[in-house]
């Protein structure tokens, strides 16, 4: 019997295996439903273009993560890039973040944003929703013109029904001087926010990191092995290919809603009905390779207005020139929907519109398109509902009582980065090693 079974060979699962092996644990089995490991960090190539599952840029604040990347893939293989990102609204590009860069927008928009900022309440009331949070820190104008429409498009969810914990920590705070100055003159966006610069592989896409990590792991990865049932009493997982494996400890990085559905049912089931409470957005990531170059200089652009079918567009060849053949360009656009409310087939018209709009926005034509790869992310952004805020910790603890560690972005049902996936793998490995030392 393997000591540890890991469900999912994305960054979290592989980081867990790496750290367990570092601590001398050898009897590990990794089950991955897809044909190759990597999860969201896989890259696809088509006709000389390389596409990731939308932009995956490395923001490193933990020295251990930096060291890990160096050990796995070699830091010299990564370019350090200063962010060039913008918001496109009212036919104008303003640099990100908008709260410091109103200059150039229509006067009425600037007026509403500045007045809203100055008139916002300085008394901290109880902040329940993300809407309250944005209103308190940025005022009614910024909420109306950016925070509300953009986040609602990203998540396909109204922000008044989002818990205040949603991504606030990533939004750059601002001062009255920055708002007013940014409204009067073009301001410098350098160094603002957690993502003002980032690392990205010079060649090969983000999967380079996974390939390097796999070369440092000896545990077997069983691909095309989907775990469909977990018997928490017998400590056994059952796979779609008919095979089953018992375990002492189960680490699962599969989405939490699918994990609770895979559990064996019991009469007094703490997990019954839970999956229905776990909401997330699904994402359609359309990648397009063009035979000609675009003049757009940005790495990525936010589209808060519903005139565009997509809410974000990124230019791959501006991130690394090796992602597209010389003299050409390649982009990604992102469309969001809630799969329990909207069928994927109902998004087809929006996808076609998105391709047309992206092509025209880039100053290119349909005849320039030489490659098109659509990647589907059924789980993309977890919806921070009030239910999640109340029940998530208890749910994860209940699983732990059965020696099931549900970890990672979707395992812990959270918004998190690659660095956090590395840290989640490290933390669960340390926990299991400590339990083994304690005789469990």
Ligand X SMILES: Cc1cc2nc3c(=O)[nH]c(=O)nc-3n(C[C@H](O)[C@H](O)[C@H](O)COP(=O)(O)OP(=O)(O)OC[C@H]3O[C@@H](n4cnc5c(N)ncnc54)[C@H](O)[C@@H]3O)c2cc1C
Chain contacts with ligand X (rule: CB under 6 A): 7-13, 31-34, 39-41, 54-57, 59, 226-227, 253-254, 258, 283, 377, 380, 408-410, 416-419, 421
**Closer CB to ligand X, 149 or 425, in the complex:** 425
**Closer CB to ligand X, 87 or 254, in the complex:** 254
Q: How far is the CB of 221 from ligand X (least distance, A)?
A: 10
HSE-CB at 135 with a 13 A cutoff on CA atoms is 16
**Closer CB to ligand X, 10 or 139, in the complex:** 10
**Closer CB to ligand X, 378 or 394, in the complex:** 378
**Closer CB to ligand X, 110 or 301, in the complex:** 301
Q: How far is the CB of 159 from ligand X (least distance, A)?
A: 18
Q: How far is the CB of 181 from ligand X (least distance, A)?
A: 29
**Closer CB to ligand X, 95 or 255, in the complex:** 255
Q: How far is the CB of 113 from ligand X (least distance, A)?
A: 27
Q: How far is the CB of 402 from ligand X (least distance, A)?
A: 17
CA torsion sign for 162, 166, 172, 176 is positive
């Amino acid at each position: 019997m393997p000591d540890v079974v890991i469900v999912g060979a994305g960054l979290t699962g592989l980081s867990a295996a790496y750290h367990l092996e570092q601590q001398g644990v050898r009897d590990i089995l990794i089950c991955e439903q897809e044909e190759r490991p990597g999860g969201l960090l896989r890259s696809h190539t088509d006709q000389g273009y390389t596409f990731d599952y939308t932009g995956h840029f490395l923001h490193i604040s933990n020295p251990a993560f930096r060291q890990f990347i160096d050990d796995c893939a070699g830091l010299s293989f990564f370019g350090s890039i200063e962010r060039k990102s913008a918001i496109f609204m009212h036919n104008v590009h303003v640099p990100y973040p908008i709260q410091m860069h109103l200059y150039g927008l229509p006067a009425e928009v600037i007026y509403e944003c500045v007045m809203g900022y100055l008139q916002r309440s300085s008394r901290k009331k109880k902040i329940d929703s993300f809407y309250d949070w944005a209103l308190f820190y940025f005022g009614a104008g910024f909420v109306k013109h950016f925070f509300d429409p953009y986040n609602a498009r990203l998540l396909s969810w109204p922000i008044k029904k989002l818990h205040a914990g949603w991504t606030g920590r990533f939004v750059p705070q601002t001062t009255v001087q920055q708002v007013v100055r940014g409204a009067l003159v073009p301001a410098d966006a350098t160094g603002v926010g957690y993502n003002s610069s980032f690392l990205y592989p010079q060649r090969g896409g983000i999967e380079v990191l996974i390939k390097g990590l796999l070369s440092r792991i000896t545990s077997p990865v069983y691909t095309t092995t989907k775990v469909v049932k977990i018997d928490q009493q017998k400590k056994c997982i059952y796979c779609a290919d008919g095979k089953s494996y018992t375990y002492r400890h189960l680490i699962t990085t599969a989405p939490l809603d699918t994990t609770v559905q895979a559990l064996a049912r019991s009469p007094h089931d703490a997990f019954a009905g839970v999956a229905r409470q776990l909401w997330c957005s699904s994402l359609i990531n359309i990648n397009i390779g063009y035979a000609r170059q675009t003049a757009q200089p940005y790495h990525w652009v936010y589209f808060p207005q519903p005139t565009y079918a997509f809410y974000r567009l990124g230019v791959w060849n501006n991130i690394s020139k090796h992602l597209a053949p010389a003299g050409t360009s390649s982009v990604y656009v992102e469309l969001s929907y809630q799969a329990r409310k909207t069928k994927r087939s109902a998004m087809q018209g929006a996808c076609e519109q998105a391709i047309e709009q992206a092509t025209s926005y880039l100053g290119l034509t349909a005849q320039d398109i030489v490659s098109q790869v659509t990647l589907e992310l059924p789980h993309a952004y977890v919806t921070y509902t009030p239910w999640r805020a109340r029940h998530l910790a208890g749910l994860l603890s209940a699983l732990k009582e059965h020696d099931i560690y549900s970890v990672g972005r979707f395992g812990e049902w959270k918004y998190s980065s690659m660095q956090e996936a590395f840290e989640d793998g490290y933390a669960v490995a340390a926990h299991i090693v400590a339990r083994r030392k304690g005789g469990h």
